[in-house]
Chain A
Amino acid sequence: KAGVTQTPRYLIKTRGQQVTLSCSPISGHRSVSWYQQTPGQGLQFLFEYFSETQRNKGNFPGRFSGRQFSNSRSEMNVSTLELGDSALYLCASSLGQGRVDEQFFGPGTRLTVL
Protein backbone atom coordinates (compact mmCIF):
# COMPACT_ATOMS: atom_id res chain seq x y z
CA LYS A 1 0.00 0.00 0.00
CA ALA A 2 1.44 3.37 -0.96
CA GLY A 3 2.26 5.75 1.85
CA VAL A 4 1.38 9.40 2.29
CA THR A 5 2.79 11.52 -0.50
CA GLN A 6 3.47 15.23 -0.45
CA THR A 7 4.29 17.51 -3.34
CA PRO A 8 6.43 19.34 -3.94
CA ARG A 9 9.24 18.20 -1.65
CA TYR A 10 11.06 21.52 -1.77
CA LEU A 11 9.90 25.06 -2.46
CA ILE A 12 11.58 28.43 -2.48
CA LYS A 13 9.38 31.51 -2.41
CA THR A 14 9.83 35.19 -1.64
CA ARG A 15 8.04 37.27 0.95
CA GLY A 16 4.54 38.31 -0.04
CA GLN A 17 3.96 35.40 -2.40
CA GLN A 18 1.51 32.61 -1.77
CA VAL A 19 2.07 28.86 -1.89
CA THR A 20 -0.03 25.72 -2.16
CA LEU A 21 1.14 22.36 -0.83
CA SER A 22 -0.48 19.06 -1.68
CA CYS A 23 -0.98 15.86 0.31
CA SER A 24 -2.30 12.51 -0.91
CA PRO A 25 -3.30 10.22 1.98
CA ILE A 26 -3.07 6.48 2.19
CA SER A 27 -5.86 4.81 0.25
CA GLY A 28 -8.94 4.45 2.47
CA HIS A 29 -7.87 7.13 4.93
CA ARG A 30 -10.35 9.96 5.26
CA SER A 31 -8.62 12.18 7.81
CA VAL A 32 -5.71 14.46 6.91
CA SER A 33 -3.84 16.58 9.44
CA TRP A 34 -1.21 19.24 8.74
CA TYR A 35 1.71 20.23 10.94
CA GLN A 36 4.43 22.86 10.79
CA GLN A 37 7.90 21.95 12.04
CA THR A 38 10.48 24.62 12.84
CA PRO A 39 13.64 24.51 14.98
CA GLY A 40 12.27 27.13 17.35
CA GLN A 41 8.63 26.09 17.77
CA GLY A 42 8.91 22.38 17.09
CA LEU A 43 5.94 20.50 15.68
CA GLN A 44 2.72 22.47 15.72
CA PHE A 45 -0.73 21.40 14.58
CA LEU A 46 -2.24 23.48 11.78
CA PHE A 47 -5.60 21.85 10.99
CA GLU A 48 -7.37 18.56 10.34
CA TYR A 49 -9.86 17.63 7.68
CA PHE A 50 -12.30 14.74 7.53
CA SER A 51 -14.73 14.14 4.69
CA GLU A 52 -14.03 17.58 3.23
CA THR A 53 -14.79 19.35 6.53
CA GLN A 54 -12.32 21.06 8.82
CA ARG A 55 -12.80 19.49 12.24
CA ASN A 56 -9.93 21.07 14.14
CA LYS A 57 -7.75 24.11 13.77
CA GLY A 58 -4.56 25.15 15.53
CA ASN A 59 -3.43 28.62 16.55
CA PHE A 60 -2.23 29.96 13.24
CA PRO A 61 -3.22 33.18 11.48
CA GLY A 62 -5.84 33.22 8.77
CA ARG A 63 -3.10 33.30 6.12
CA PHE A 64 -2.93 29.54 6.62
CA SER A 65 -5.85 27.70 5.08
CA GLY A 66 -6.62 24.30 3.74
CA ARG A 67 -9.17 22.16 2.04
CA GLN A 68 -9.93 18.53 1.34
CA PHE A 69 -11.34 17.04 -1.80
CA SER A 70 -13.84 14.22 -2.20
CA ASN A 71 -10.99 11.74 -2.82
CA SER A 72 -9.49 12.77 0.57
CA ARG A 73 -6.52 14.55 -1.03
CA SER A 74 -5.77 17.77 0.79
CA GLU A 75 -4.10 21.05 0.05
CA MET A 76 -2.88 23.79 2.32
CA ASN A 77 -2.33 27.35 1.23
CA VAL A 78 -0.26 30.07 2.80
CA SER A 79 -0.88 33.58 1.53
CA THR A 80 1.34 36.64 1.93
CA LEU A 81 4.37 34.61 2.94
CA GLU A 82 6.60 35.82 5.76
CA LEU A 83 10.18 34.83 6.55
CA GLY A 84 8.92 33.01 9.63
CA ASP A 85 6.85 30.67 7.47
CA SER A 86 10.03 28.86 6.45
CA ALA A 87 9.52 25.37 7.80
CA LEU A 88 8.97 21.72 7.08
CA TYR A 89 5.27 21.15 6.49
CA LEU A 90 4.11 17.64 7.27
CA CYS A 91 0.82 16.05 6.52
CA ALA A 92 -0.49 12.89 8.09
CA SER A 93 -3.42 10.65 7.32
CA SER A 94 -5.52 8.29 9.40
CA LEU A 95 -8.75 6.37 9.07
CA GLY A 96 -10.58 9.05 11.02
CA GLN A 97 -13.46 6.77 11.89
CA GLY A 98 -14.54 8.60 15.03
CA ARG A 99 -11.78 7.22 17.24
CA VAL A 100 -8.16 7.94 17.94
CA ASP A 101 -5.89 6.11 15.56
CA GLU A 102 -2.33 6.16 14.33
CA GLN A 103 -1.40 8.99 12.02
CA PHE A 104 0.87 8.11 9.10
CA PHE A 105 3.17 10.92 8.07
CA GLY A 106 4.43 11.95 4.68
CA PRO A 107 8.03 13.03 4.00
CA GLY A 108 7.13 16.71 4.21
CA THR A 109 7.51 19.79 2.04
CA ARG A 110 10.47 22.00 2.89
CA LEU A 111 9.42 25.63 2.33
CA THR A 112 12.04 28.36 2.28
CA VAL A 113 10.89 31.98 2.23
CA LEU A 114 13.48 34.52 1.11
Chain B
Amino acid sequence: AQSVTQLDSQVPVFEEAPVELRCNYSSSVSVYLFWYVQYPNQGLQLLLKYLSGSTLVKGINGFEAEFNKSQTSFHLRKPSVHISDTAEYFCAVEAGGTSYGKLTFGQGTILTVHP
Protein backbone atom coordinates (compact mmCIF):
# COMPACT_ATOMS: atom_id res chain seq x y z
CA ALA B 1 0.00 0.00 0.00
CA GLN B 2 1.06 3.57 -0.57
CA SER B 3 0.87 6.53 1.75
CA VAL B 4 1.62 10.23 1.37
CA THR B 5 2.57 12.69 4.09
CA GLN B 6 2.48 16.40 3.54
CA LEU B 7 4.57 17.76 6.35
CA ASP B 8 2.93 21.17 6.67
CA SER B 9 -0.82 21.70 6.89
CA GLN B 10 -0.48 25.45 6.42
CA VAL B 11 2.27 27.60 4.93
CA PRO B 12 2.03 31.39 5.15
CA VAL B 13 4.40 33.39 2.98
CA PHE B 14 4.79 36.93 1.72
CA GLU B 15 4.38 37.81 -1.92
CA GLU B 16 7.54 37.41 -4.04
CA ALA B 17 9.16 35.16 -1.41
CA PRO B 18 10.22 31.59 -2.27
CA VAL B 19 8.18 28.66 -1.01
CA GLU B 20 8.65 24.92 -0.54
CA LEU B 21 5.80 22.53 0.17
CA ARG B 22 7.05 19.23 1.48
CA CYS B 23 5.82 15.78 0.51
CA ASN B 24 7.08 12.36 1.55
CA TYR B 25 5.69 9.05 0.38
CA SER B 26 6.03 5.41 1.24
CA SER B 27 5.52 2.52 -1.12
CA SER B 28 6.76 -1.01 -1.63
CA VAL B 29 6.66 -0.58 -5.40
CA SER B 30 7.66 2.07 -7.90
CA VAL B 31 5.42 5.08 -7.78
CA TYR B 32 4.42 7.91 -10.00
CA LEU B 33 4.09 11.31 -8.35
CA PHE B 34 1.83 14.29 -8.85
CA TRP B 35 1.12 17.70 -7.40
CA TYR B 36 -2.37 19.12 -7.76
CA VAL B 37 -3.77 22.53 -6.78
CA GLN B 38 -7.32 23.23 -5.66
CA TYR B 39 -8.85 26.69 -5.60
CA PRO B 40 -11.98 27.28 -3.48
CA ASN B 41 -15.10 25.54 -4.80
CA GLN B 42 -13.21 24.00 -7.70
CA GLY B 43 -11.82 20.62 -8.71
CA LEU B 44 -8.16 19.71 -8.82
CA GLN B 45 -5.75 21.02 -11.42
CA LEU B 46 -2.49 19.26 -12.19
CA LEU B 47 0.63 21.35 -11.49
CA LEU B 48 3.24 18.76 -12.46
CA LYS B 49 3.96 15.06 -12.60
CA TYR B 50 6.89 12.68 -12.35
CA LEU B 51 6.46 9.52 -14.38
CA SER B 52 10.07 8.79 -15.35
CA GLY B 53 13.22 10.47 -16.62
CA SER B 54 14.69 13.63 -15.13
CA THR B 55 14.10 13.92 -11.40
CA LEU B 56 13.62 17.68 -11.67
CA VAL B 57 10.16 18.33 -13.01
CA LYS B 58 8.86 21.69 -14.15
CA GLY B 59 5.18 22.47 -14.11
CA ILE B 60 2.73 25.24 -14.73
CA ASN B 61 2.74 28.67 -13.10
CA GLY B 62 6.48 28.53 -12.35
CA PHE B 63 6.32 25.55 -10.00
CA GLU B 64 8.89 22.76 -9.97
CA ALA B 65 9.51 19.62 -7.93
CA GLU B 66 12.36 17.22 -7.41
CA PHE B 67 11.90 13.48 -7.06
CA ASN B 68 14.34 12.07 -4.49
CA LYS B 69 14.08 8.31 -4.41
CA SER B 70 16.53 7.79 -1.53
CA GLN B 71 14.60 10.20 0.68
CA THR B 72 11.22 9.21 -0.75
CA SER B 73 10.36 12.86 -1.20
CA PHE B 74 8.77 15.01 -3.87
CA HIS B 75 8.90 18.58 -2.59
CA LEU B 76 7.22 21.39 -4.53
CA ARG B 77 9.01 24.71 -4.95
CA LYS B 78 8.44 28.11 -6.44
CA PRO B 79 11.11 30.83 -6.36
CA SER B 80 8.70 33.77 -6.12
CA VAL B 81 5.02 33.43 -5.19
CA HIS B 82 2.12 35.61 -6.15
CA ILE B 83 -1.13 36.39 -4.37
CA SER B 84 -2.92 34.23 -6.93
CA ASP B 85 -0.97 31.16 -5.71
CA THR B 86 -3.09 31.13 -2.56
CA ALA B 87 -4.80 27.73 -2.67
CA GLU B 88 -4.62 24.22 -1.29
CA TYR B 89 -1.96 21.92 -2.72
CA PHE B 90 -2.08 18.14 -2.78
CA CYS B 91 0.70 15.66 -3.33
CA ALA B 92 -0.42 12.30 -4.75
CA VAL B 93 1.04 8.96 -5.79
CA GLU B 94 -0.12 6.23 -8.11
CA ALA B 95 1.49 2.81 -8.01
CA GLY B 96 0.57 1.64 -11.49
CA GLY B 97 0.20 -2.05 -12.21
CA THR B 98 -3.04 -3.21 -10.67
CA SER B 99 -3.50 0.23 -9.08
CA TYR B 100 -4.12 2.09 -12.34
CA GLY B 101 -6.43 5.00 -11.82
CA LYS B 102 -6.03 5.01 -8.04
CA LEU B 103 -4.42 8.12 -6.64
CA THR B 104 -3.44 8.25 -2.98
CA PHE B 105 -3.40 11.82 -1.70
CA GLY B 106 -1.71 13.61 1.13
CA GLN B 107 -3.77 15.68 3.53
CA GLY B 108 -3.08 18.90 1.68
CA THR B 109 -1.13 22.09 2.40
CA ILE B 110 -2.90 25.42 2.46
CA LEU B 111 -0.61 28.05 0.98
CA THR B 112 -1.53 31.60 1.93
CA VAL B 113 0.34 34.39 0.19
CA HIS B 114 0.23 37.73 2.01
CA PRO B 115 0.84 41.11 0.33
Contact = CB atoms under 8 A, between A and B. Distances in A.
Contacts of B101: 31, 33, 48, 50, 55-56, 94, 96, 103
A27 B45 CA distance: 18
Interface residues of B, number: 25
A42 B100 contact: no
A83 interface: no
A2 interface: no
Interface in B1-51: 32, 34, 36, 42-46, 49, 51
Contacts of B108: 42-43
A58 B102 contact: yes
7 tightest A-B contacts by CB? A48-B101, A105-B43, A43-B105, A105-B44, A100-B32, A100-B96, A33-B101
Given A105-B43, A108-B43, 17 more contacts: A33-B102, A35-B105, A42-B106, A43-B92, A48-B102, A50-B101, A55-B101, A56-B100, A90-B43, A96-B100, A100-B32, A100-B94, A100-B96, A100-B100, A105-B36, A105-B44, A107-B43
B110 to A, nearest CB: 12
Q: Contact size class for A?
A: 20 to 34
B100 A105 contact: no
Nearest to A99: B96
B54 interface: no
B90 interface: yes
